[in-house]
Amino acid sequence: MGLMQGSVRRRDRGVWEVRIYLGRDVESGKKRYLSRTVRGSKRDAEGLCRELVAEAEEGQAERAEDSDLLTVSSWLDEWWVTKRMSIAPTTASSWGSSVDYLKSHIGDVALHDLRVHHLESMYQRLIDGGLSAARVQKVHTVASVALKAAVRRELIGTSPAAAARPPAVGRKEPVAPSVEEVVRILEAASEDPDLHAFLIVAANTGARRGEICALRWCDVDLDDRALTISRSVAKGSGGGAVVRQTKTGVAGRVAISEQATTVLRELLARRRTTAEAIGEPLSSTAYLWSQDPCGSRPIYPDTISSRFSRARKRAGLGHVELRQFRHFAATQLLTAGVDVRTVAGRLRHARPAMTLDRYAAWVPARDRDAADLLDNLGM
């Protein structure tokens, strides 16, 4: 092949890597390579290899990527600039720390040379350093997404993360407060009527904190006793609140109880009084929970959490968390025998299987009932 050297290596079924040696960099002294990924037959790859070698010997080849110079750290920097803009701010914060772990532990490895053992060794070092298995799983998730993007860009042929095994995470059952605990917290929250109404809706619908914060009066049908949940409030990149789709992207209409309907009627009356006091009618697009007299902006979820913390402290139940009201709704319904599909709809899970997987321990065992239904067949 003349002065230049080329090689063809199989990376996966029908995927080949063509690599051409271009000599050493004048300034750094590092070896330079031109790499291409070919999807097809080995003959296709060998043909491209001959073409690239010929171009390189004629001085016409341009390196689209330099596998020795493009490190994992360099790729993560490039990928993260775009990726962080497409995910929720809270997710970006969590993923950002995972990117830092990847860069500090394997950032100096050439992207082209990254292998399964690099990732698995890193996972073990993180565990030995005190990170939980669940946290290391998140690092693995970020590595997987970043390396899949590198495959799509044809920087590498396959992702080593696809075969890497992160540490197993023990299954944690959701913790739900008892009826007595929920009642005590509601009693403690009664001196804060708006918070009391918020908690009633949370316990009745199983809605997430951000979903309740995003409710507008046009989402409420008091006559038909129903709410439409289609949005959620989350922390924005600048620290403020942003309204976006629900966590699972699933919207739905949820029936509410007489109690929830009553507290919402009372909340509506208070909101109208507040708006009229400044000479403004209450708009149907106003948010139910807002610190603005006209309800033009949703309340910040952390503000609700702070008020909830004070209520649970007054109730002497500091261990109960606001997100557990969602678990309370799910477990109470399942224990009472409500079918999983209905519960999944109320929780806005994408699939009933998600509900069953999460709350399987609360689904009543009905094996004996099933056997009795099939008794005395043909007798």
Instruction: Provide the 10 A C-beta neighbour count for residue 310.
Output: 14
Cα 267 to Cα 39: distance, rounded to the nearest angstrom: 62
Helix (H) or strand (E) run with residue 35 in it: strand 31-39
* Averaged pLDDT in 10-residue chunks for the chain of 379 residues: 70 78 70 74 86 71 50 89 80 89 92 92 94 93 95 87 89 88 97 97 95 96 96 75 80 93 97 94 95 93 95 96 95 92 91 89 75 68
pLDDT of residue 38: 76
pTM above 0.85, yes or no: no
Question: What confidence score (pLDDT) does residue 66 get?
Answer: 46
d(CA 11, CA 303): 52
| Domains parsed from the chain with CATH numbers | 5-57 (no CATH), 72-162 (1.10.150.130), 179-324 (1.10.443.10)
**Residue ranges of the alpha helices (H) in the chain?**
42-57, 72-83, 89-106, 116-128, 133-152, 179-188, 193-205, 209-213, 258-277, 301-314, 324-335, 340-347, 352-359, 367-373
166 sits in the region (left: phi over 0; alpha: psi -120 to 50; else beta) called beta
HSE, side-chain direction, 13 A CA sphere, residue 229: 28
Q: From CA 243, how far away is CA 290, in angstroms rounded?
A: 13
Per DSSP, what are the bridge partners of residue 38?
A: 16
**Measured distance CA(53)–CA(60) in Å, rounded:** 10
Q: For position 152, what pLDDT does the model report?
A: 87
**Residue that the structure tokens 């006209």 belong to:** 294
Of 332, 364, 372, 363, which Cα lies nearest the Cα of 205?
Answer: 332
pLDDT for 1 equals 38
CA proximity to 193, closest of 261, 258, 257, 270: 270
Query: Both tokens of residue 213?
Result: 């914060």
Number of helices (H) and strands (E) in the chain: give both, helices first.
Answer: 14, 8
Distance of alpha carbon 220 from alpha carbon 284, whole angstroms: 9
